[in-house]
Amino acid sequence: MSVTIHDIAKELNLSAMTISRVLNRQEPSSVAPATRERVLKKAAELGYRPNRNARALVSKRPQMIAIWIDHLRSSVYAQIADACRDEIQRAGLQSEICEMNWHFAQPGTKRQFEWLVDGILAVDPPVNIDALFPDAPLYRIPRVNLGSGTPVMWSGDYVRVDLQAGTHDAVKHLADQGCRRIAYVVPAGIDRPGTGNFDAFTNTVIDAGLTPEYIVITYQNLREVRKTVAEYIREHGAPDGIYCHYDELAIATFRALRDLDLRMPDDILLIGCEGNEFMEYFDPPISTIAMPAKDLAGTAWRLLQQRIENPQAPPQSIILPHKFCARESSIKRPMPRP
């Protein structure tokens, strides 16, 4: 038989209302800290599990937050989803991860979604996100956009990491290291002006007095990326610096360079983007632009909580800083003394 708040109240000689205030995470000041600690300890001892359906009936809220995200095979998106889920569960709510596949799906792809949620965290949504759900206008549900892509022009809350500035820093680093041919490994579809990282790469290379090169990836599996990079180098010769749109592309590029007996940093410099922790464990460690997934998720969740509690409040927009992690793959060795 499941443990109820009345069982905990009886054990501690407290009212059921006090137990409810603690376990339903009401305003901390309404219960003394010592009492709150006793309740949480006893609830853990007795194996208390909250009844989400009962809480929903009392609060008149579904107690559910949707995480809309694309391309969960990407490790950085998986990290963001996990960080968002942690924030939601820490608040005592349930999360529903919905892989929307809005960037790479075939045109006309139908998307299904159960709309019984308190709010939505939308990770790197497309510009036309509202048009994807014509039968269920998004303005009715509190929503926060978050991520690193080009900002979606809308009047609501958002938080993002400025990876365009990170791209500038990474490419300038390559130029400062003496690279005269800098190539961008970029997925097809975002290899055009008007796309944030593409513009940042192109403008930074041109500002350095160089000609930008593009290695466009049609199929984003590692085998095809490896093949495409190798074919480009065989046909055009090797650039002396390569910047990759995200870290998985850098991993496949690393393998392609090794296939061609090119060594980093002696023959070529390499930088990825998004800051996956495994980049540090290559030989040599691969430089990357780190994106603070936990800070991104925490800030977005705070904005969503505020939006749920106060729907009429002015929208907020927050830009988080990136961190360029320069490692051995992009730092030229000093020339030996004669």
Q: Which two tokens stand for residue 26?
A: 């009401």
Reply yes or no: is the peptide bond before residue 284 cis, omega within 30 of 0.
yes
pLDDT at 170 > cutoff 70: yes
For residue 238, the tally of other CB atoms under 10 A from its CB is 17
Q: Which two tokens stand for residue 223?
A: 């085998």
Q: Which two tokens stand for residue 191?
A: 């290899």
> Do 173 and 330 form a contact (C-beta atoms < 8 A)?
yes
| pLDDT, average across residues 117-124 | 89
Q: Which of 167, 95, 94, 102 is nearest to 129 (CA)?
A: 102
Could you read off the pLDDT of 188-236 as tens digits, one per residue? 888 888 887 899 999 999 999 999 999 999 987 899 999 999 999 999 9
For residue 147, the tally of other CB atoms under 10 A from its CB is 25
CA distance 166 to 324: 7
pLDDT at 28 > cutoff 60: no
| pLDDT, average across residues 25-48 | 75
CA distance 149 to 126: 9
pLDDT at 21 > cutoff 80: no
CA distance 128 to 142: 18
296 versus 90: the higher-pLDDT residue is: 296
H helices within 243-292, ranges in order?
A: 247-259
Contacts 24+ apart (CB under 8 A), 147-154: 147/80, 147/123, 147/296, 148/124, 148/274, 148/291, 149/124, 149/196, 150/195, 150/196, 152/125, 152/126, 152/127, 153/127, 154/130
- Percent of the chain with pLDDT strictly greater than 90: 44
CA distance 25 to 138: 28
Could you read off the pLDDT of 90-113 as tens digits, one per residue? 887 888 888 777 665 555 555 555
| pLDDT, average across residues 28-49 | 77
Which pLDDT band, with edges at 50, 70 and 90, does 133 fall under?
Answer: low
Could you read off the pLDDT of 63-85 as tens digits, one per residue? 789 998 887 777 788 889 999 99
CA distance 85 to 95: 6
Q: Which of 96, 102, 94, 156 is nearest to 133 (CA)?
A: 102
Burial grade of 97 (CB within 10 A; 0-12, 13-18, 19 or more): middle
pLDDT in the model for residue 57: 46
Q: Is the pTM of this model over 0.85?
A: no
**Please, what are the domains in the chain?**
64-161+293-320 (3.40.50.2300), 163-291+325-330 (3.40.50.2300)
> Do 296 and 159 form a contact (C-beta atoms < 8 A)?
yes
pLDDT in the model for residue 14: 84
